[in-house]
């Protein structure tokens, strides 16, 4: 009888071990599920979830029983087990577009806050919060179950603005790729220079530079956007250096303040912002044949329905109110940069033919009259 009981217990042990994958038997994660079993990577192209898989098996589930937001009838809402890493994990990936995010019924919410830090005077800041949960599906069909319910919560908060390193400066017509560790929502931004008011003919920089007061048309575009987002320019300025963080700069416009020759034609109303200005020279280049400068625009995104509320109100009380609580500064907006803009010197010279001519005799007579007047 004891032998039969021993064999029965051994059978249960072997069956139990057979349910546990080999990679989990000696893993330190071969335990009950815990809240910190999940890690979330908020990238610029994807949201990635990684969950220790051994605790899932410990709770009598497997990768086929874990699904996002209970969307069990959608294949894209299931994860994929990765047994090649130690400890092994269950991975989920969501491309950062509205279709993929909503496919698994993730919560997609826009949050608006008053700006602080460098843009506290005039900028509200919007964030996108994407959240959901990975839950277990209990296959038990009876009245009771011995499996615990598992829920892993996840969320990512994306500022709708680009965070760029100064080494990632762009040129006209070239997209800027943003690195994942910046935690931003979208991936590309570009600046284009045109010579016509239809924004069709690209501006060609002549070797001798542009003439003073040449009209330059500028378009700042964001790509890979869903229709719900627009481009908003907070500030555009020029510097003599290709880097925006420099002591010598000239603001074309910032908030309600703008240069007299600058016209903002489209801002916050489309996935492209447009403005124009006239070519000028920096005074520090007076002794040089050409004046070279670079255009920079601090750019961010806004949700279409509220973009108009984020634009500056330029009346007597148009200055944006500052945030009273500035305990957490907002990172600077993306600064997209143009190629070098070159303006020629165009000095005005007077030819010798235009100078008055004097005869030597007339000059001597004038000198004698002056001397006589002095003697008398």
Q: Token digits for 122? A: 């005039």
Q: Label residue 321 by pLDDT band (50, 70, 90).
A: very low
pLDDT at 364 over 70: no
What's the pLDDT at 11? 43
Q: What's the pLDDT score for residue 186?
A: 42
Q: What is the mean pLDDT of the chain?
A: 75
Q: How many CB atoms lie within 10 A of CB 300?
A: 27
Separation of alpha carbons 135 and 70, rounded Å: 6
pLDDT at 320 over 70: no
pLDDT at 323: 29
Q: What is the mean pLDDT of residues 80-88?
A: 95
Mean pLDDT throughout 326-341? 60
Query: Which pLDDT score is estimated for 224?
Result: 65
pLDDT band at 100 (very low <50, low <70, confident <90, very high): confident
Among the listed residues 109, 150, 134, the one whose alpha carbon sits nearest the alpha carbon of residue 48: 134
Please report the pLDDT score of residue 229 as a whole number.
76
* H-run or E-run covering 102: helix 98-103
The β-bridge partners of 153 are 133
In the predicted structure, residue 88 carries a pLDDT above the cut 70: yes
Return the beta strands (E) in 147-289 as ranges. 151-159, 188-194, 215-223, 229-239, 249-254, 257-258, 263-266, 272-278
**d(Cα 47, Cα 137) in Å, to the nearest integer?**
23
Whether a cis peptide bond, with omega within 30° of 0, leads into 27 is no
| Closest by Cα among 130, 134, 132, 131 to 72 | 134
In tens, the pLDDT along 207-258 reads 899 999 999 999 998 876 667 778 889 889 999 988 887 778 899 998 778 8
Give the CA count within 13 Å in the CB-facing half-sphere of 26: 2
Q: Are 143 and 73 in contact (CB under 8 A)?
A: no
Task: Give 4's DSSP letter.
Answer: H
The rounded distance, in Å, linking the Cα atoms of 208 and 203 is 14
User: What is the per-residue pLDDT for 324?
Assistant: 29
Residue 135: CA count within 13 A, CB half-sphere: 13
SS3 327: coil
Q: What confidence score (pLDDT) does residue 352 get? A: 44
| Structural domains of the chain sorted by starting position, each given as residue range(s) with its CATH number in brackets | 12-139+147-158 (2.60.40.3210), 166-312+329-344 (2.60.40.4100)
Contacts of 192 (CB under 8 A, 6+ apart): 172, 173, 199, 202, 218, 219, 220, 221
Phi, psi of 235 (to 5 degrees): -160, 140
Report CA dihedral (247, 252, 254, 259) to the nearest 10 degrees.
120
Angstrom distance (rounded) from CA 160 to CA 158: 6
DSSP letter (8 states) at residue 44: S
Query: What Rg value do the Cα atoms of the chain yield, rounded?
Result: 34
CA 9 to chain centre: 60
Helix (H), strand (E) counts: the chain: 6, 18
Place 193 in a pLDDT band, splitting at 50, 70 and 90.
very high
Which single residue is written with the structure tokens 């002794």? 287
273: tokens are: 């912002």
User: What integer pLDDT is reported at residue 27 of this predicted model?
Assistant: 94
How far is the C-alpha of 70 from the C-alpha of 152, rounded, in Å?
12
Q: Which residues of 235-270 are buried (b: 16+ CB within 10 A; e: fewer)?
A: bbbbbbebebeeeebeebbbbeebbeeebbebbbbe
Per-residue confidence band for 264, with pLDDT thresholds at 50, 70 and 90? very high
The Cα–Cα gap between 310 and 114 comes to 10
Share of the chain above pLDDT 90, in %: 41
Q: What phi, psi does 351 have (nearest 5°)?
A: -75, 155
Predicted pLDDT of residue 209: 93
Model pTM above 0.75: no
* 276 confidence band (pLDDT: 50, 70, 90): very high
How far apart (Å, rounded) are the C-alpha atoms in residues 101 and 78?
14
């Amino acid at each position: 009888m004891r032998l039969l009981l021993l064999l029965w217990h051994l059978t249960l042990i072997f069956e139990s071990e057979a349910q546990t994958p080999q990679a989990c038997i000696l893993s330190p994660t071969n335990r009950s599920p815990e809240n910190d079993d999940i890690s979330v990577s908020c990238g610029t192209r994807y949201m990635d979830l990684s969950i220790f898989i051994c605790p899932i098996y410990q709770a009598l589930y497997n990768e086929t029983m874990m699904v996002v937001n209970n969307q069990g009838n959608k294949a894209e809402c299931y994860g994929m087990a990765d047994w090649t890493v130690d400890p092994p994990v269950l991975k989920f990936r969501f491309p950062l577009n509205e279709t993929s995010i909503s496919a698994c019924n993730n919560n997609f919410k826009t949050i608006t806050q008053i700006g602080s830090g460098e843009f506290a005077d005039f900028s509200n800041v919007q964030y996108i919060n994407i959240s959901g949960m990975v839950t277990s599906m209990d296959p038990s069909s009876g009245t009771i179950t011995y499996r615990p319910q598992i829920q892993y919560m996840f969320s990512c908060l994306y500022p709708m603005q680009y965070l760029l390193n100064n080494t990632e400066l762009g040129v006209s017509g070239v997209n800027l790729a943003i690195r994942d560790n910046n935690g931003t929502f979208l991936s590309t931004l570009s600046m284009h220079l045109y010579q016509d008011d239809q924004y069709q003919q690209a501006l060609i920089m002549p070797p001798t530079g542009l003439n003073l007061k040449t009209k330059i048309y500028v378009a700042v575009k964001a790509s890979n956007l869903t229709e719900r987002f627009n481009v908003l320019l907070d500030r555009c300025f020029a510097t003599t250096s290709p880097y925006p963080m420099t002591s010598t700069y000239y603001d074309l416009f910032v908030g309600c303040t703008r240069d007299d020759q600058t016209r903002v034609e489209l801002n916050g109303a489309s996935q492209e912002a447009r403005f124009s200005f006239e070519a000028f020279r920096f005074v520090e280049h007076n002794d040089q044949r050409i004046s070279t400068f670079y255009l920079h625009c601090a750019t961010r995104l806004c949700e279409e329905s509220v973009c108009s509320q984020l634009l500056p109100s330029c009346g007597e009380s148009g200055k944006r109110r500052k945030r009273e609580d500035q305990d957490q500064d907002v990172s600077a907006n993306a600064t997209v940069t143009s190629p070098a803009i070159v303006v020629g010197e165009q000095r005005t010279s007077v030819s010798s033919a235009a100078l008055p001519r004097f005869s030597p005799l007339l000059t001597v007579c004038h000198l004698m009259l002056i001397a006589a007047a002095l003697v008398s």
